[in-house]
Amino acid sequence: MENSKIGMHSLLVKLGKDIVHKQFDEPRQRQFFVDIGENCEVLLADEAAGSRCVIGIDCRFNGRKLNISGRAFERMSNLQFLRLKGFYYDAWYLSHGLSYLSPKLRILDWNYFPATRLPSNFNLKFLVELDMSNSNLEKLWEGIKPLANLKWMNLRSSHYLKELPDLSTAKNLQELYLNGCISLVELPSSIGNAIYLKILELSGCSSLVELPFSIGNAINLQDLYLSNCSSLVELPSSIENATNLRKLDLSGCSSLVELPSSLGSAINLQDLYLINCSSLVKLPSSIRNAANHKILDLSGCSSLVELPSSIGNATNLQTLNLSDCDRLVELPSSIGNATNLQTLNLSRCLSLVELPSSIGNATNLQTFNLRNCLSLVELPSSIGKATNLQTLNLSDCHRLVELPSSIGNATHLQSLNLSYCTCLVELPSLIGNATSFQKLNLSYCTSLVRLPSSIGNVSNLQTLNLRDCKSLVELPSSIGNLTKLDLDIRGCSSLVELPSSIVNFIMNQDGGNQYMHKFVANPFLYWECH
pLDDT tens across 495-513, in order? Answer: 877 777 666 655 555 444 4
Residues 123 and 104 in one domain: no
Cβ 476 vs Cβ 456: under 8 Å:
yes
Query: Percent of the chain beyond pLDDT 90?
Result: 58
Number of domains present in the structure of the chain: 2
Residues 152 and 69 in one domain: no
The three state secondary structure string of 162-203 is: CCCCCCCCCCCCCEEECCCCCCCCCCCHHHHHCCCCCEEECC
Q: Does an H or E element contain 371, and which? A: none
The more confident residue out of 346 and 476 is 346
Residues 182 and 250 in one domain: yes
CB atoms within 10 A of CB 35: 21
Residue 41 maps to a domain: yes
pLDDT in tens, 201-259: 999 999 999 999 999 999 999 999 999 999 999 999 999 888 899 999 999 999 999 99
Residue 297 maps to a domain: no
Q: How confident is the model at residue 96 (pLDDT cuts 50, 70, 90)?
A: confident
pLDDT in tens, 9-68: 666 766 666 655 566 555 556 677 766 555 566 566 555 455 777 888 888 766 667 777
Residues 126 and 266 in one domain: yes
Please tell me the predicted confidence (pLDDT) of residue 176: 98
Please tell me the predicted confidence (pLDDT) of residue 523: 39
Please tell me the predicted confidence (pLDDT) of residue 310: 84
Residues 87 and 182 in one domain: no
Q: Which CA distances in Å does 485 have to 248, 392, 453? A: 46, 20, 15
Q: Which CA distances in Å does 228 have to 182, 208, 232, 247, 277? A: 10, 10, 9, 16, 9
Residues 199 and 248 in one domain: yes
Instruction: Determine the residue type at 97.
Output: G
Q: In the predicted model, is pLDDT for residue 315 greater than 70?
A: yes
Please tell me the predicted confidence (pLDDT) of residue 314: 82
Residue 287 maps to a domain: no
Residue 399 maps to a domain: no
Last residue of a domain, one of 111, 129, 144: 111
How far apart, in whole angstroms, are the C-alpha atoms of residue 116 and residue 139? 7
Residues 127 and 176 in one domain: yes
Give the pLDDT mean for 391-396.
Answer: 98
Give the pLDDT mean for 416-422.
Answer: 97
Residue 228 maps to a domain: yes
Q: Does an H or E element contain 276, and which? A: none
Please tell me the predicted confidence (pLDDT) of residue 68: 77
Q: How many CA atoms lie within 13 A of 351 on its CB side?
A: 14
Q: Which of 26-30, 377-381, 390-394, 496-500 has the lowest mean pLDDT?
A: 26-30
Contacts of 26 (CB under 8 A, 6+ apart): none
Last residue of a domain, one of 252, 280, 308: 280
Last residue of a domain, one of 58, 77, 111: 111
Tell me the sheet residues that pair with 95. 69
Tell me the sheet residues that pair with 345. 321, 369
The more confident residue out of 287 and 144 is 144
Q: Which CA distances in Å does 320 have to 293, 297, 307, 341, 344? A: 10, 6, 11, 8, 5
Contacts of 114 (CB under 8 A, 6+ apart): 92, 93, 94, 135, 136
Residue 132 maps to a domain: yes
| Backbone phi and psi for residue 354, each to the nearest 5 degrees, phi listed first | -150, 165
Residues 142 and 275 in one domain: yes
Residues 241 and 165 in one domain: yes
Q: Which CA distances in Å does 429 have to 44, 228, 420? A: 81, 49, 21
Q: How many residues does the chain have?
A: 530
Please tell me the predicted confidence (pLDDT) of residue 263: 86
Q: What is the domain extent for residue 147? A: 116-280
Indicate the average pLDDT of the chain: 86
pLDDT in tens, 66-80: 777 778 888 888 999
Residue 513 maps to a domain: no
Residue 369 maps to a domain: no
Verdict on whether the full-model pTM lies above 0.85: yes
Q: How confident is the model at residue 524 (pLDDT cuts 50, 70, 90)?
A: very low
Residues 107 and 28 in one domain: yes
Residues 50 and 166 in one domain: no
pLDDT in tens, 251-306: 999 999 999 988 878 888 999 999 999 999 999 888 766 668 899 999 999 999 99
pLDDT in tens, 98-129: 889 999 999 999 988 888 999 999 999 999 99
CATH code, domain with 210:
3.80.10.10
Please tell me the predicted confidence (pLDDT) of residue 87: 72
Residues 170 and 42 in one domain: no
How far apart, in whole angstroms, are the C-alpha atoms of residue 194 and residue 189? 10
* CA 431, chain centre distance (Å): 36
